[in-house]
Amino acid sequence: MKFSWHGHACVQLQTLDGTKIIIDPFINGNPYSDLDVESVVADYIILTHGHEDHVGDALAIARNNEATIIAVVELADHLASIDVKTHGMNIGGSFSFPFGTVKLTPAIHSSSYDGDYMGLAAGVIVNDTSATIYHAGDTALFTDMSLIGPVTICAFTNW
């Protein structure tokens, strides 16, 4: 799996089968991002929670690529009402996609979008046959993190 960090919490993955995933695509307004929203190619977008610095440019990328947004159910349902494809999940749940497995983990943080509650914040584990990536989202450290793993790469939000 290919892994690229683009500042703050924005990470791009390319799985072994060529699937392109972007996690927390906060690009415009992110002083560390080297991406242009219009040139991002994505099959899937994963959001750890609803804050603007994580949802960021997800809607534009989803529309430009006809990509599916994967997020907690409340956030996914809200974004689906804005007419983008979504796949809602719950903390602790996993789903097998054509490229591999996505599992949502707990995160200790709030989650709102446009002032409305958008479900729990999450971390995410993406696994294909070549690697396991853990993206913690925005979270405090907690002892149950020791149960996540083993992982190939662990990504934490950085300002």
Looking only at the bridges linking them, the beta strands covering 20-23 and 11-14 are antiparallel
H-helix segments, the chain? 52-55, 58-65, 73-80
Model pLDDT, residue 115: 84
First to last CA, the chain: 25
Q: Does residue 158 surpass a pLDDT of 90?
A: no
| Alpha-carbon distances, residue 53 vs 62, 108, 148, 155 (angstroms) | 16, 16, 25, 16
The more confidently predicted of residues 142 and 57 is 57
CA distance 93 to 121: 14
CA distance 115 to 102: 27
| Alpha-carbon distances, residue 151 vs 114, 126, 135 (angstroms) | 33, 10, 10
Model pLDDT, residue 117: 87
Q: How confident is the model at residue 53 (pLDDT cuts 50, 70, 90)?
A: very high
DSSP state of 33: -
CB 68 within 8 A of CB 45: yes
Residue 104, beta-bridge partner list: 124
Model pLDDT, residue 159: 59
Model pLDDT, residue 2: 97
Q: How confident is the model at residue 157 (pLDDT cuts 50, 70, 90)?
A: confident
CA distance 50 to 58: 11
Q: What percent of the chain has pLDDT over 70?
A: 99
Q: 2-155 — its CATH code?
A: 3.60.15.10
CA distance 44 to 21: 5
Q: Does residue 98 surpass a pLDDT of 90?
A: yes
Give this prediction's pTM.
0.96
